Amino acid sequence: QQQVKQSPQSLIVQKGGISIINCAYENTAFDYFPWYQQFPGKGPALLIAIRPDVSEKKEGRFTISFNKSAKQFSLHIMDSQPGDSATYFCAASRGTYKYIFGTGTRLKVLA
């Protein structure tokens, strides 16, 4: 019940395309869902986050869609660029407790 399942494991997208990464959770007590971007040899950086009382949040080219009833949330990267090539992790947490991370998605955007 503590797991966060993330898919796909890897993703290749053409420049200008839309990248979509999905996550699913089971614990309905989770109330905070962030997405992190990680480049090789670096720590993860917070991209965007959402709470379950909102169905969508947009920041620039990044959008989180949240489906509370399905216990799923997804990251959409619009107009994907080669510089977006990185590993993306979703996570879930309850209050100030520890994060539960997804398994990661390696995104490659072709020039």
Partner 1 sequence: GAVVSQHPSWVICKSGTSVKIECRSLDFQATTMFWYRQFPKQSLMLMATSNEGSKATYEQGVEKDKFLINHASLTLSTLTVTSAHPEDSSFYICSARDRQGGEKLFFGSGTQLSVL
Which residues of the chain form contacts with partner 1 (CB under 8 A)?
A: 32, 34, 36, 41-46, 49, 89, 93, 95-96, 98-99, 101-104, 106
Output the DSSP codes for 42-92: S--EEEEEE-TT-SEEEETTEEEEEETTTTEEEEEESS--GGG-EEEEEEE
CB of 32 to partner 1, least distance (A): 4
Which residue bears the tokens 């009833």?
Answer: 69
CB of 104 to partner 1, least distance (A): 5
Using the minimum distance from each CB to partner 1, give the nearer residue, 25 or 101: 101
CB of 62 to partner 1, least distance (A): 16
Give yes or no for a contact between 89 and 102, defined as CB atoms under 8 angstroms apart.
yes
Give yes or no for a contact between 88 and 107, defined as CB atoms under 8 angstroms apart.
yes
Using the minimum distance from each CB to partner 1, give the nearer residue, 20 or 49: 49
Using the minimum distance from each CB to partner 1, give the nearer residue, 17 or 100: 100
CB of 81 to partner 1, least distance (A): 22
Give the number of other Cβ atoms within 10 Å of residue 52's Cβ.
Answer: 16
